[in-house]
Structure 1
């Protein structure tokens, strides 16, 4: 398994906030994340807009979309948006890619059949990569066709050339099912599932590796990530109440035993033991998404200062 260190990310829940982000940048946190829907059922943000706020309101950390529902977007347009954000941020953007589908009306509203979301995501990722490589490129696929397009990322003030990384931002695939695992192995720069147990995470790692072997892909540099709903409190019972209140209704009133497998909650010592199981299963960058409605900064602080130091990469098997 690649990676000899464990890094921590944090989701900016419920919305990106300048003071919250400034506080997180003072912690041993490597990344901050936000996603979003186009037509969510409530007043929450959209992924590219939120990503723009993250890039504007941070200076040090990597910033990520968790996740961008790529099939809802025209890929040439979003390629330009993401390239500009990566350039203006000094190459700090990472794009978590998902297919969505839980809100069918979003797809109907933008004229995308929900049954095409997987195929459109694959083709969209290919188009992003082509445009980010630079130079005139063409594409003739099932959903999009063009010749001789050249994308020019914006130049940050004072820069002679764009600061976008060569090849553009990493594309990290999210999901929980076999098609997403195959997409990660074939097209992704990393794998970032969510709402899975450590055992399920281990199985997903194996599935990605097996698919990569089948197609002859070397996964050197591939990122093994985990997006983890979580609550950490000095009072472990309060943390468990956080998760039950935050996720129980949002994900179909899942019973406590199920939530306990997929959303760790408790004291720093209790949560560290649960996160170590994900590390043992292969995760190297864990994004903590505070599963609470208040004091989310405290959860991130405890994760960074009291949980992260307790985690260790397993010794390699000889």
Structure 2
């Protein structure tokens, strides 16, 4: 995979046709959206949102950030994702995580919260088997299937949409912040997509994942492993407004001193200021940023400034970060 810096964008609060069309005209390479089964607000579920984004885009990759995989029967979700990948021309990427912050979601589908990590690991392996196109027999701790074959949908004759998914199925990129998630990414994932971590914490995660991958006999560079980052941020001409955006959007979860804490993990400010902060992540190993506007309004402005004024300011380091592929001289979109 070329060593370059690219941008994605999160379609918040909901996928919207005109917003997505505007983003596709920018130097943006991917769009993302996740979702809960029983969210506390009136927002969508990950697979249905993904379906909307595949239908309402033509060029960009579309991804889940994130799909709470332990809540889903693997055979059903494998079929859904394979069909969407086939009908989008292989543009789907699946960001997976274990969740757990809303315990009632797990109770409602009969999945113990304590099993979420093990179920996710086993489900990822089962998805890969199902997407191989070969018959699958699997007898695990959580899932049992005997001699089943998954066949993605075949578009009807004359359908103008690009047909055909990726061989072997969509990439599975792992989200999280803790070491179990890093081990999952190293051993089972096609990429690493953490969130709300500082540049130094990201650099440590790169080193951990490389060590775990080597222990498992995986060469991540050969597999095209993606070093990604889901970044809550706000970018405005008025830097104070951007900082107010982030505090208003995320501050409630950080106690009585949100601004200082948020500044470490959620960049905000003018394009120049945010570029300087994102450069720290590039130096730590990030190559694919998913810009998640931490703002309640004018989110397209945030994404536009990121694509047109922040991305051109980012440069690849002269020497690669720990675990990253060798660096080139300049970012490209």
Task: Judge same fold: TM > 0.5, yes or no.
Answer: yes
* CA-atom RMSD in angstroms: 1.5
Residues 299 and 84 (structure 1 numbering): CA distance in 2 closer, same or farther, change over 3 Å?
A: same
The answer to whether structure 1 residue 241 and structure 2 residue 244 are counterparts is: yes
Structure 1 stretches of 4+ with a deviation exceeding 3 A read 157-162, 250-254
Query: 1:63-88 deviations in whole A, cap 9, x for unaligned?
Result: 00000000000000000000000000
In the TM superposition, residue 162 of structure 1 has moved relative to its aligned partner by: 5.7
Provide the rounded CA distance (Å) in 2 between the counterparts of 1:63 and 1:257: 33
| Equivalent position of 1:295 in the other structure | 298
| Equivalent position of 1:49 in the other structure | 48
Query: 1:214-268 deviations in whole A, cap 9, x for unaligned?
Result: 1111102100000000000000000000000000014556621110000000000
| Equivalent position of 2:10 in the other structure | 11
Residues 316 and 170 (structure 1 numbering): CA distance in 2 closer, same or farther, change over 3 Å?
A: same
Query: 1:14-54 deviations in whole A, cap 9, x for unaligned?
Result: 10000000000000000000000000111111000000000
Q: Any unmatched runs of 5+ in structure 2?
A: 321-325, 327-333
Provide the rounded CA distance (Å) in 1 between the counterparts of 2:175 and 2:65: 8
Provide the rounded CA distance (Å) in 2 between the counterparts of 1:270 and 1:226: 18
| Equivalent position of 2:70 in the other structure | 71
Q: Any unmatched runs of 5+ in structure 1?
A: none
Residues 146 and 254 (structure 1 numbering): CA distance in 2 closer, same or farther, change over 3 Å?
A: farther
The answer to whether structure 1 residue 59 and structure 2 residue 62 are counterparts is: no
| Equivalent position of 1:276 in the other structure | 279
In the TM superposition, residue 4 of structure 1 has moved relative to its aligned partner by: 1.8
| Equivalent position of 2:189 in the other structure | 188
User: 2:311 is matched with which residue: 290, 308, 313?
Assistant: 308
The answer to whether structure 1 residue 211 and structure 2 residue 180 are counterparts is: no
Provide the rounded CA distance (Å) in 2 between the counterparts of 1:229 and 1:4: 23
The answer to whether structure 1 residue 38 and structure 2 residue 41 are counterparts is: no
In the TM superposition, residue 134 of structure 1 has moved relative to its aligned partner by: 0.5
Q: So what's the TM-score if we normalise by structure 2?
A: 0.93
| Equivalent position of 1:130 in the other structure | 129
Provide the rounded CA distance (Å) in 2 between the counterparts of 1:32 and 1:93: 10
Provide the rounded CA distance (Å) in 2 between the counterparts of 1:49 and 1:28: 26
CA contact (8 A) 1:39 1:106 kept: yes
Aligned length: 317
| Equivalent position of 1:172 in the other structure | 173
CA contact (8 A) 1:154 1:162 kept: no
Q: So what's the TM-score if we normalise by structure 1?
A: 0.97
Q: Secondary structure at the residue paired with 2:19?
A: helix
